[in-house]
C-alpha cells in the first residue's frame, strides 16, 4: 500500500464515525425538541390549572384561550383539558352559557367525558349536564329540510303548464326546452293548417257532382282530417311530456336518448320532430 492509499483509507475510517456522530446528534436534537414541545404544552396546562386553583379565574381563562389559538400544535388530550378548565373557570365567573360551549367542545373531542361527583361541585356538574344534553340533542337531531329544490321544480311545472318547454328553459335545459317549444309551435301550426284545408276540402267534396272527381276530393279531405287529428294528438303528447319532465326529471340529465314524432298532414307533406330526452 503506497502513501496515497494509506491516506484515503484513514479518511474513510475517520468519516464513518463522523457520520454516525452527526446522525446521533440530529436524532438527539429531534428528541429534545419534541420533549421540549411536550414540556411546553404540559407547562401551559399546569399553569392554567394552577391559576384556576388559586382563584385567578380570569387569568386562567385568558391563558387557556391564548393556548387554544395555537390549536394545531396542541395534542387532542391537551385541548380537551383546556376546554374542561375553561368550563370550570366560566362557571366560577357566573358565565354559564360560555361554560356550556366549552364543555360541548370538550365532549366533541371526548364523547365519553364525565365529571366525578366526589370531587366536582354540583354547580359545575349541573352546567356540564346541560351541555351534555345539548351535545346529545345536536348529534341526534335531523338537519333542516331543504325545500329549495321542490320550489324550483314547482316553478318549472307552472311554466310547462303554460306552454311546453318553458319549464325546461327555466331549469337551464336549453336544448330540450327549445326543442319542446319549437315542436309545440310547429304542431299547433300544422293543426291549424290542416284544419283550414280540411274545412275547404270537405266543402269541395260535398259540393262536387262529378263522380270522377269525388274520389280524389275525398282522399284530399281524408288526408287533411288525418293530419289535423295526428298533429293535435302529437301536440297533446308534447304538452304532457313537457309537464311530466318538469315534474319528475332532474335539472341535468345525462341521457342522450330521444323520441321522434312524425306527422303527415297531406300526401305531399311530411313533418318529423325529434325531441331529445337529455339536455
What is the pLDDT confidence band of residue 29, given thresholds at 50, 70 and 90?
very low
Shared-domain flag, residues 11 and 111? yes
Considering the domain architecture, whether residues 185 and 133 belong to the same structural domain is answered as no
Say if 83 falls within a structural domain: yes
Of the candidates 111, 140, 169, which is a domain's last residue? 140
pLDDT, one tens digit per residue, over 117-136 is: 888 889 999 999 999 898 88
What percentage of the chain reaches a pLDDT higher than 70?
Answer: 71
Whether 200 is covered by a domain: the verdict is yes
Average pLDDT over the chain reads 77
* Cell digits of residue 249: 326529471
Q: Name the β-bridge partners of 269.
A: 266
In a domain, 145, yes or no: no
Chain-centre distance for alpha carbon 73: 31
Domain ranges, residue 77: 3-140
At residue 71, the pLDDT reads: 63
**Burial, 30: exposed, middle or buried (Cβ in 10 Å; 0-12, 13-18, 19+)?**
exposed
Does residue 146 sit within a domain? no
Looking up residue 28, the CATH number of its domain turns out to be 1.25.40.10
Specify the pTM.
0.42
Amino acid at each position: 500500500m503506497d502513501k496515497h492509499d494509506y491516506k484515503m483509507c484513514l479518511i474513510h475510517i475517520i468519516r464513518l464515525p463522523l457520520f454516525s456522530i452527526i446522525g446521533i446528534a440530529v436524532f438527539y436534537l429531534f428528541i429534545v425538541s419534541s420533549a421540549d414541545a411536550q414540556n411546553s404544552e404540559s407547562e401551559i396546562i399546569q399553569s392554567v390549572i394552577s391559576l384556576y386553583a388559586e382563584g385567578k379565574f380570569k387569568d386562567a381563562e385568558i391563558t387557556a384561550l391564548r393556548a387554544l389559538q395555537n390549536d394545531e400544535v396542541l395534542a387532542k388530550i391537551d385541548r380537551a383539558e383546556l376546554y374542561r378548565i375553561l368550563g370550570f373557570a366560566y362557571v366560577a365567573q357566573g358565565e354559564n352559557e360560555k361554560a356550556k360551549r366549552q364543555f360541548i367542545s370538550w365532549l366533541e373531542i371526548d364523547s365519553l367525558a364525565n365529571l366525578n361527583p366526589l370531587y366536582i361541585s354540583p354547580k359545575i356538574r349541573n352546567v356540564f349536564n346541560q351541555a351534555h344534553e345539548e351535545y346529545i340533542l345536536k348529534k341526534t337531531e335531523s338537519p333542516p329540510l331543504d325545500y329549495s329544490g321542490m320550489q324550483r321544480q314547482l316553478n318549472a311545472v307552472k311554466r310547462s303548464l303554460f306552454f311546453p318547454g318553458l319549464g325546461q328553459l327555466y331549469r337551464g335545459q336549453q336544448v330540450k326546452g327549445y326543442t319542446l317549444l319549437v315542436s309545440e309551435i310547429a304542431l299547433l301550426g300544422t293543426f291549424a293548417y290542416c284544419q283550414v284545408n280540411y274545412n275547404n276540402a270537405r266543402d269541395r267534396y260535398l259540393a262536387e257532382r262529378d263522380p270522377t272527381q269525388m274520389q280524389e276530393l275525398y282522399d284530399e279531405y281524408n288526408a287533411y282530417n288525418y293530419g289535423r287529428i295526428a298533429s293535435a294528438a302529437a301536440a297533446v303528447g308534447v304538452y304532457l311530456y313537457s309537464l311530466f319532465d318538469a315534474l319528475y326529471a332532474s335539472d341535468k340529465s345525462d341521457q342522450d336518448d330521444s323520441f321522434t314524432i312524425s306527422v303527415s298532414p297531406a300526401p305531399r307533406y311530411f313533418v318529423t320532430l325529434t325531441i331529445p330526452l337529455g339536455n
